[in-house]
Amino acid sequence: MVYYIRGVFSLVSNNSDSDLKHDLPKNNTGTENRITSPAYEEDRRFKHYKDSVPNPNILFYTANTGVRVDTVQFYKMLVRKDSQFRTVVNVRKLAVTSSDWEIISDGTADSSDEITKWVSDMFRNRIRHFRKHLMEMMDAIVTGYTVHEIITDVDSNGNYIITDLLYRNPERFEFGTDGTFYLLGNTRSDRKVLPKNRFLIHTNEATPENPYGESVLGEASFWLYYLKNGNWKDWAQFNERFGQGILKGEYEKGNINAMKETFEALKLLRSNGYAVFEKGSNIEILEASRNSIDYKDMLNEIDRAISRMIIGQELTTSAGMGKGSYSLGRVHEGTFANIVLSDRKNLEDTINEMIREICLMNFSDITVFPKFQFVSTVRGEDKSVNANVKDND
């Protein structure tokens, strides 16, 4: 069973009328197999989609109206609007991509130092803003997958070289059950089959039945965002209500017009926390015993939960919270280091797939390929875990 998991170059068509760029020649490096497992064929979610895999990452769906909210849209909104989501996601992305990298050969007799130097020169001098593209690829931890169009040119020796990686909105694309990669149109019949060796797809935790990957935010992010927004609103109302006191208006007994005018005047001054009474009314307003610390503690706990969900720790993102210890901090630091190492390994696999394909296009007799790898370590990294990751290549 073959499917697109990390760095993948999709298939085939020279007549696309989209804004996508020019094609590369195809090469016969293998064929993809249609998914035919009984579980897949019988799954009711897929029974109407025999030629394409629907994205299972739907956060909301109402059967009556058919209204759906895709997680890609929702997760992008979270990172745009919520400062904690945005900050912690950027912490993880920067930790992964800020280190230096290199192109290496495997050191065997079959490897070519000249090809390794050629690939290294292409990455350092030909591909524009490569580090920015790494940051864009790391968006897969939020959206599940990212799509880049590979732009090429021909060097002075007649070799195809990569000159740019153009980010494309992943919501514009769809995966087929036979390994085909589609550009969506206004209707299902308008979709276009895309050419092989033209797109680089980076995913987070993709599977054969879900090639769109999984976001690290998960469904829990909806409840955290919902509770956090509600807490902010309640806290603002609390400060307005108890920080400034209650506005009291009075009017002459029986004068309904005066009552309405007084009420409207108070309404202009305050969204709540006001009242209008007849003069002489004996009304006692009892103040509730409340403390704004309740709201602050809830807000901090939600932010800590967001941090734990994305980077596996909270102490480094919640300075001054008055909790934790040195040993706990070391554990959290090690957890974050292992997350970063895993993300780097995932990125390396994606880039190395691209290196393999561009080498095959230019050097037909090549059997051993140069490799992209990050070179610096992460503070607090677990050496044994890192060794296990390398040993399992």
Say if residue 145's pLDDT is above 70: yes
Q: Which amino acid is at 14?
A: N
Going from N- to C-terminal start, the domains of the chain cover 38-217+333-391, 222-325
- What φ, ψ does residue 165 adopt, rounded to 5°? -125, 110
Higher pLDDT, 376 or 280: 376
- Average confidence score pLDDT of the chain: 75
Those residues with Cβ within 8 angstroms of residue 70's Cβ, 6 or more apart along the chain or in another chain? 55, 57, 58, 59, 171
- The pLDDT, as a whole number, for residue 204 is 93
Say if residue 97's pLDDT is above 80: yes
Say if residue 335's pLDDT is above 90: no
Provide the token pair at 106.
């495997």
85-88 long-range contacts (CB < 8 A, ≥24 apart) are: 85/217, 85/221, 85/225, 85/306, 85/310, 87/317, 88/306, 88/307, 88/310, 88/311, 88/317
Q: What is the pLDDT of residues 218-229, one digit of tens each?
A: 888 888 998 998
Higher pLDDT, 262 or 384: 262
Greatest C-alpha distance within the chain = 103
Provide the token pair at 296.
């602050």
Q: How far apart are CA 222 and CA 302, in angstroms?
A: 12
- The pLDDT, as a whole number, for residue 69 is 64
pLDDT, mean of residues 55-80: 72
pLDDT band, residue 112 (cuts 50/70/90): confident
Q: How far apart are CA 141 and CA 132, in angstroms?
A: 16
Sole residue written with tokens 């897949």: 40
Higher pLDDT, 173 or 39: 173
pLDDT band, residue 391 (cuts 50/70/90): very low
Q: How far apart are CA 333 and CA 336, in angstroms?
A: 5
pLDDT, mean of residues 120-149: 94
pLDDT, mean of residues 342-350: 95
- The pLDDT, as a whole number, for residue 6 is 31
pLDDT band, residue 389 (cuts 50/70/90): very low
Say if residue 170's pLDDT is above 70: yes
| 3-state DSSP assignment of residue 377 | coil
Angle at 391 between CA 106 and CA 132, to 5 degrees: 65
Question: Could you write out the DSSP letters of every residue in 223-287?
Answer: HHHHHHHHHHHHHHHHHHHHHS--EEEEE-TT-HHHHHHHHHHHHHH-SSSEEEEETT----PPP
CA 249 to chain centre: 52
Q: How far apart are CA 252 and CA 263, in angstroms?
A: 13
Sole residue written with tokens 């089959």: 193
Question: Could you write out the DSSP letters of every residue in 359-372?
Answer: HHHH-TT--S--EE
Q: What is the pLDDT of residues 154-163, one digit of tens each?
A: 999 899 999 9
Higher pLDDT, 53 or 170: 170
- The pLDDT, as a whole number, for residue 313 is 80
Q: What is the pLDDT of residues 271-330, one digit of tens each?
A: 666 666 656 554 455 455 556 568 888 899 999 999 999 998 875 544 444 555 555 555
Burial of 285 (0-12, 13-18, 19+ CB in 10 A): exposed
Q: Which amino acid is at 315?
A: L
Say if residue 353's pLDDT is above 90: yes
Specify the range with the lowest mean pLDDT, choosing from 189-193, 230-234, 270-274, 283-287. Answer: 283-287
Q: How far apart are CA 30 and CA 27, in angstroms?
A: 9
Say if residue 14's pLDDT is above 50: no
- High-pLDDT (> 70) share of the chain, %: 63
- The pLDDT, as a whole number, for residue 339 is 93
Q: Specify the pairing of strand 145-154 against strand 160-168.
A: antiparallel
List the one residue out of 45, 24, 59 whose CA is nearest residue 220. 59
